[in-house]
Amino acid sequence: MITCTNAVEADVPTEPLAADNVVAGEPAAGVAALPSPRGFEVGIWVHTVGTSTDVEVDEVFVVISGRATIACENGPTIDVGPGDVVTLAEGTATTWTIHETLRKVFVARA
């Protein structure tokens, strides 16, 4: 089987984040799940402008559009934008400050 999805044009519905995860603004986020190999989750993720927190899973992602600053608790803070490839480790507490709506394609362990 083979599939193809345009990561720039794919519709990714968003909804407001849970209040417990919002630090600033009124961010919304959503995922469009894509066909995935066994043991993995693949998708397109969108997060609108604002700041939120998360606890990560093992993931690799590529930023398609937008800009953000990701601060890791007890770790580095990085700025990401189009073309950046980022890895996240399971259990890492992060704070995402989205400066321009962020769109990424991700592969995560299921």
pLDDT digits (tens, 9 = 90+) for 36-57: 999 999 999 999 999 999 999 9
Tokens of 41: 């989750």
Query: What's CA 104's distance to the chain center, in Å?
Result: 6
pTM (2 d.p.): 0.94
The answer to whether the CB of 109 falls within 8 A of the CB of 89 is: no
- Assign a CATH topology to domain 15-109: Jelly Rolls (2.60.120)
Looking at every residue in the chain, the average pLDDT score rounds to 97
The answer to whether the CB of 25 falls within 8 A of the CB of 97 is: no
